[in-house]
Structure 1
Amino acid sequence: MADPGKMEEGLAHEEGAPDQERKDKRDGKVEKEEDGAADRIGNDKEERVATTHVEQQNLEEQPLVKQKTKRIATLDAFRGLTVVLMILVDDAGGAYPRIDHSPWNGCTLADFVMPFFLFIVGVAIALALKKVPKIKDAIKKISLRTLKLLFWGVLLQGGYSHAPADLAYGVDMKQIRWCGILQRIALVYFIVALIETLTRKRRPTVLEPGHLSIFTAYRWQWIGGFVAFVIYMITTYSLYVPHWSFVVDNDDEATRYTVKCGMRGHLGPACNAVGYVDREVWGINHLYSSPVWQRLKACTLSSPGSGPFRENAPSWCRAPFEPEGLLSSILAILSGTMGIHYGHVLIHFKGHFERLKQWVSMALGLLIVAIILHFTDAIPINKQLYSFSYVCFTAAAAGIVFSAFYVLIDVWGFRTPFLFLEWIGMNAMLVYVLGAQGILAAFVNGWYYESSNNTLVYWIQKHVFINVWHSERLGTLLYVIFAEIAFYGVLSGILHKLGIYWKL
């Protein structure tokens, strides 16, 4: 059977009879040595033809690239950076609202977390699925991983867990939240990975020369992303949004508020199609009850931080909104598509310069598109709506950061300073569950003295950080960095030494 590596480079030749035997056949030098020799020769020929046919079938079932490559440390480091950013903005965002999610238009540090997750999921899909030769096995793997993400998403963000502050647990099924971070990752992973698997046989064996050949070779992935883009854009700008109402429970009384809309193509908080789709599909009681738009100046005097509502605040300030909703998750598929493109470049281009040229040029192009769309007010950058300019801007940022990590870690070999990010990236799911979702902190808080506020976690945060630095903001930031992020870095390092990994 031909060497797969040579085959991919266009250097392999079809195998048949040995060279000398083919030469003997051409020269007429194959002689009969005994009776029945002709039959044996005929049988041998049939066996060789059958063997060649089987080998050709096996080659057709091979992935586009089948070769051993060393592990790219940048992948784990980038994944670890994303988890670290999530912990930082979740636990220190209250003290520093500027790094918390943008209340509406614009982009802050927290707004990079979700698209960074989807980007690295896309990169990982390209590398992982090429190692699964059978389509049936790949689909099974994709389905099981999707179900696992959905299960953990609903369990951790559906309202069942009240960690880390509240030691109670349980959720009213009338109020359960169906959407969330892991649910969005599951959807994007399922669609992008399924396209990657089902189009395997439609790709050329060898890339044609040219800068755009990588795009044409994986045209079906980009067609999938384009379909998601079309569905999002048509729905966002053409769907009619009627008036809608909601109920807010205040102690023993319930107040009903009405939001007047009756329009199409609105990109503000009140009457956008993204929120309307979620209200119709999931029901308004199953949406996120504390959206970040509550920190807008129109809603509170404490903007950009959280605070009491203005007396004349619009009614929609109190309404629920799902930041990981259905329509916005459809466009999020495009973030995964851009990530898988970077993975394809990593597979096909072996030179550092060629990889970086592909990555950086695409990132700069996306950045230019995002800036033009945002500053002309055509499509503002908006995480809550997951706008197209937001997809382009965050994908560009992810591409630039990924390229920088690649140069520092895999090209120049500065791996030691980023080891803790690698370790966290190798156990991203574990750190997400224990840290970002506060499960470990809730467990520690369960061992309290006299009062549930008198726990080791609160004592360390107050006496070791806040009181020492005489600043709640600075103390909170240092606590997050040293008592949370550093702790999970050490824990992940220990698990790495033990060979234990639990990724997203």
Structure 2
Amino acid sequence: MFAFTQPEVGREPKNHTRINTQSQPADFLFSFIFPALLVAALLLAVIVLLSVLVPYIYRRCCTSKCIKVICCQDPLHSVDNEAAEAVCDGGEAKPSRLLSLDAFRGFALTVMVFVNYGGGGYWFFQHAPWNGLTVADLVMPWFVFIIGTSVVLAFSSMQRRGVGRLQLLRKVTWRTVVLLIIGFCFLNYSPRDGPLSWSWLRIPGVLQRLGFTYFVLSLLQTFWGQKQIPERAPQWSSAAQDVLLFWPQWLIIILLETLWLCVTFLLPVPGCPAGYLGAGGIGDDGLYPNCTGGAAGYIDRWVFGDNMFRYPTCKEMYLTVLPFDPEGILGTINSIVMGFLGMQAGKIIVFYKRKNIHILCRYLVWAVILGISAAILSKCTRDGGFIPVNKNLWSLSYVTAMGSFSFLLLGIMFFIIDVKGWWRGQPFLYPGMNSIFVYVGHSLLGFYFPFSWEIGFQQSHWELLLQNLWGTGLWVLIAFLLYRKKFFLKI
């Protein structure tokens, strides 16, 4: 039987057969493997095209005033009643909700569900063994980036409504605690051992990291982010006021990144060279078998013991014996930095409201700066740079590379969805507005029918891909039905 691997869940995966596409002959690749992916891609393209055209045609057919009013009564316009009324009356006001951000979140979540279900057995939908990037390595930093952007937009809105700092702190603390509880209890659940068992409990985790990152970013925005936009800034600073006004936040982030660099490269790890960033095991000619992750792995093993991820992505290729958690303590520092880049994207939207060209240009500038930084740090190689791109370590080059991708993707979606209105974000909009429900649901129910079933022909990508797309599509459908029922799980 083929069982799906869930890279982010800290329990032992079941025995499974993985189709190794890297070692297959070229004729086999093109004649057997990629046609399945090509057919699936074409079908998905048709579905996405229909999801865009059908609503567009429907809206064009809504000619009567009564139907126009009905068409406007959806959750996208319920955020701001005055804006909704203006749209229905043909006014110039637009919905206050940033649709591109929901679509970005939903796109990242959909890809995450697909790769967690197995990605059709393709190697490029699995996490990289150590250094390098695959599709699966992109989605987690996208989520962190979106958290930062959402924090700025949400707190700015609450500031305009007069919400006090103490009330903000209570709300932030409550959300953080709930995310930690869900991460500890629900995603550590085992049908055999019950909700919690210390023998296999994983203390770090995806929701734990997201919750802690959200907490730190919210504190930054609560204490040092409530700035009034100056009507007339000095000419020398007007081009960078969205950075200069928040210098305390930047100072804290610089100190955090300095801490990460010092600990990573200067902390003495027994039996390992200073600044070691390798996988250990048989890597580096087997010279450092017990140095997996260097300082990051050493700190996590000292703090958590065995209560961490026991089956890291490097285990199969490098034959490592030590546990290593990709959501460990040291990597959380760079997760905060990644979220802070998302906060910068949100500040640009707030500072340059209704100046779409300025927003898009600044997104492009940030993408170029971060992309060049990643290229310099990694020397445009997988293993030979100053700091290789590594998702397990959440290395600085990984953060800058993912920040560049995030600014580009959000900018493209912002232009297509919010500026031009060519697309409303379907179908990614629906899981994006119920992300917690979809993430927890697919983590708990992913191994059960109808989301998965036993594989009859294990060497075929067709059945694996069909099953993984089917499971992912079901969650998108569930999110759509919840959207129609106006049910949105929020914490």
Say yes or no: TM over 0.5.
Answer: yes
- Displacement of 1:156 after TM fit? 3.2
- Displacement of 1:457 after TM fit? 5.0
* Equivalent position of 1:484 in the other structure: 471
Which amino acid letter does the alignment assign opposite residue 496 of structure 1? Y
CA offsets 1:426-465 (integer angstroms, 9 cap, x no match): 0001000111x0x2345xx4xxxxxxxxx65555x64xxx
1:424 to 426, 431, 450: 431
Which amino acid letter does the alignment assign opposite residue 409 of structure 1? I
* Equivalent position of 1:21 in the other structure: none
User: What CA RMSD, in Å, does the superposition of the two structures yield over aligned residues?
Assistant: 2.2
Change in 2 beyond 3 A, CA 1:201/1:109: closer
Partner SS state of residue 409, structure 1: helix
8 Å CA contact 1:93–1:100 kept in 2: the answer is yes
1:368 to 368, 372, 379: 372
- Displacement of 1:478 after TM fit? 2.3
Partner SS state of residue 387, structure 2: coil
8 Å CA contact 2:151–2:218 kept in 1: the answer is yes
CA offsets 1:160-186 (integer angstroms, 9 cap, x no match): x23xxx666344314321100011111
- Displacement of 1:71 after TM fit? 1.5
- Displacement of 1:212 after TM fit? 1.5
- 1:130-279 correspondence to structure 2 within 5 Å: 130-132=156-158, 133-157=163-187, 159=188, 161-162=189-190, 169-200=194-225, 205-206=230-231, 208=233, 209=235, 210-242=238-270, 261-270=271-280, 271=291, 272-279=294-301
* Equivalent position of 2:286 in the other structure: none
- 1:108-147 correspondence to structure 2 within 5 Å: 108-132=134-158, 133-147=163-177
* Equivalent position of 2:45 in the other structure: none
Q: Distance in 2 between matches of 1:204 and 1:457?
A: 49
8 Å CA contact 1:425–1:503 kept in 2: the answer is no
Change in 2 beyond 3 A, CA 1:235/1:458: closer
Partner SS state of residue 241, structure 1: coil
8 Å CA contact 1:428–1:503 kept in 2: the answer is no
Worse-matched range after superposition: 360-369 or 264-273: 264-273
1:355 to 355, 359, 366: 359
8 Å CA contact 2:102–2:433 kept in 1: the answer is yes
8 Å CA contact 1:203–1:217 kept in 2: the answer is no
Change in 2 beyond 3 A, CA 1:201/1:434: closer
CA offsets 1:94-128 (integer angstroms, 9 cap, x no match): 71122211111111111111110100000100011
* Equivalent position of 2:422 in the other structure: 414
Partner SS state of residue 426, structure 2: helix
Q: Distance in 1 between matches of 2:356 and 2:184?
A: 41
Q: How many residues align?
A: 375
- Displacement of 1:187 after TM fit? 1.1
* Equivalent position of 2:309 in the other structure: 288
- Displacement of 1:399 after TM fit? 0.9
8 Å CA contact 2:149–2:342 kept in 1: the answer is yes
Change in 2 beyond 3 A, CA 1:458/1:84: closer
Unaligned runs of 5+ in 2: 1-92, 281-290
Q: Distance in 1 between matches of 2:108 and 2:489?
A: 15
8 Å CA contact 2:388–2:398 kept in 1: the answer is yes
Residue 502 (str. 1) matches residue 484 (str. 2): no
Residue 325 (str. 1) matches residue 312 (str. 2): no
Q: Normalization by structure 2: what TM-score?
A: 0.72
8 Å CA contact 1:207–1:214 kept in 2: the answer is no
Percent of pairs with identical residues: 28
Q: Distance in 1 between matches of 2:135 and 2:180?
A: 26
Partner SS state of residue 75, structure 1: helix
Change in 2 beyond 3 A, CA 1:488/1:207: farther
CA offsets 1:49-98 (integer angstroms, 9 cap, x no match): xxxxxxxxxxxxxxxxxx99621100110000111111111112471122
- Displacement of 1:153 after TM fit? 0.9
Q: Distance in 2 between matches of 1:87 and 1:474?
A: 18
* Equivalent position of 2:397 in the other structure: 389
- Displacement of 1:145 after TM fit? 0.6
Q: Distance in 1 between matches of 2:278 and 2:173?
A: 36
Q: Distance in 2 between matches of 1:83 and 1:149?
A: 17
Worse-matched range after superposition: 93-102 or 370-379: 93-102
1:74 to 88, 91, 100: 100
- Displacement of 1:335 after TM fit? 0.4
Q: Distance in 2 between matches of 1:434 and 1:287?
A: 22
Q: Distance in 1 between matches of 2:199 and 2:118?
A: 31
Which amino acid letter does the alignment assign opposite residue 135 of structure 1? R
Q: Distance in 1 between matches of 2:231 and 2:348?
A: 13
The one of the two structures with greater contact order (alpha-carbon pairs below 8 A, sep at least 6) is 2
CA offsets 1:338-367 (integer angstroms, 9 cap, x no match): 001000111111211110011111011101
Change in 2 beyond 3 A, CA 1:207/1:228: farther
Q: Distance in 2 between matches of 1:495 and 1:116?
A: 24
- Displacement of 1:202 after TM fit? 5.9
8 Å CA contact 2:185–2:195 kept in 1: the answer is no
CA offsets 1:302-336 (integer angstroms, 9 cap, x no match): xxxxxxxxxxxxxxx12211110001101211000
8 Å CA contact 2:176–2:215 kept in 1: the answer is yes
1:92 to 111, 118, 131: 118
8 Å CA contact 1:119–1:339 kept in 2: the answer is yes
Partner SS state of residue 491, structure 1: helix
Q: Distance in 2 between matches of 1:207 and 1:330?
A: 36
Q: Normalization by structure 1: what TM-score?
A: 0.70
